[in-house]
Amino acid sequence: MERQSEPAIRIVVDLQRKVLEIIAVRLGEEAPLLPILHDVQAAFGCVDEAAQTTIADALNLSRAEVHGVVSFYHDFTSSADLRPALHLCRAEACQARGVERMVAAAEAAAGQRVELKTTYCLGLCSVGPAARVGDGLHARLDETGLVKLVQSL
């Protein structure tokens, strides 16, 4: 068996301790899985496989079950993506207002540098097409506006 070098082990242990702390706070709750996943996602920018395993063990679920939930919700990712992200709404109203025609340009502007994610309805249906960056909402986007927004990230 290969032995990991000391510092790497310490980091793994620290991360696991942090995950366990997050779990401990929520454990008494009625349905603790989603809140725990949200907290872990917020703390680490992802719920990676090691964290999923720790959570599964703590809640007495299988690894597969936790993985299924993480992969089902767009809110969770299993590996941290450190790039800036733009969430573009592609639900019905924004579609009707022409978002689909702008996607190619946005993708070209994003390239590999910006993470372009799809979301469904930001509650801005009457002023779409809409997008979200972090906590900031952007409405009435046209192609130029969207490309500029991507470039500004």
Partner 1 sequence: MGYEPQQDFGTPEARSEVSVTLTIDGRKVTVPAGSSVMRAAAECGGAIPKLCASDNLEAFGSCRMCLIEVEGMRGTPASCTTPATEGMVVHTQTPRLEKLRRGVMELYISDHPLDCLTCSANNDCELQDAAAQVGLRDVRYGYEGANHLGLTTDSSNPYFDFDPSKCIACSRCVRACDEVQGTFALTIDGRGFASKVSAGQASDDFLSSECVSCGACVQACPTATLQEKAVKEIGKPERAVVTTCAYCGVGCTFRAEMRGEQLVRMVPWKDGKANHGHSCVKGRFAWGYGHHKDRITSPMVRETIDQPWREVSWDEAISFAAQRLGAIKAQYGARALGGITSSRCSNEETFLVQKLVRAGFGANNVDTCARVCHSPTGYGLKTTFGTSAGTQDFDSVMDADVILVIGANPTDAHPVFASRMKRRLRQGAKLIVIDPRRIDLVRSPHIEAVYHLPLQPGTNVAVLTAMAHVIVTEGLADEDFIRERCDWDEYQDWARFVSEERHSPEVLEAVTRVPAADLRAAARLYAEGGNGAIYYGLGVTEHSQGSSTVMAIANLAMATGNIGRRGVGVNPLRGQNNVQGACDMGSFPHELSGYRHISDEATRALFEADWGVTLDPEPGLRIPNMLDAAVDGSFRAIYIQGEDILQSDPDTHHVTAGLKAMELVIVHDLFLNETANYAHVFLPGSTFLEKNGTFTNAERRIQLVRKVMEPANGLEDWEVTQALANAMGLGWSYTHPSEIMDEIARLTPSFASVSHTRLDAEGSLQWPVNEAHPNGSSIMHVDGFVRGRGKFVVTEYIPTDERTGPRFPLLLTTGRILSQYNVGAQTRRTANNVWHEGDVLEIHPADAENRGIRSGDWVHLASRKGETSLRAVVTDRLAPGVVYTTFHHPETQANVITTEFSDWATNCPEYKVTAVQVTPTNGPSDWQKDCAEQSARARRIAPE
- Which does residue 94 touch among partner 1, ligand FES, none (CB within 5 to 8 A, set by kind)? ligand FES
Query: Which parts of 47-66 interact with partner 1 (CB under 8 A)?
Result: 49, 52-53, 56, 60-65
- Which does residue 147 touch among partner 1, ligand FES, none (CB within 5 to 8 A, set by kind)? none
**Cβ contact 58:20 at 8 Å:** yes
Q: How far apart are CA 51 and CA 37, in angstroms?
A: 9
Rounded to a whole number, what is the distance in angstroms from the first to the last CA of the chain?
A: 44
Q: How far apart are CA 63 and CA 66, in angstroms?
A: 5
Pick from 68, 80, 92, 140: which binds partner 1 (CB under 8 A)? 68
Which of 112, 126 has the CB closer to ligand FES?
126
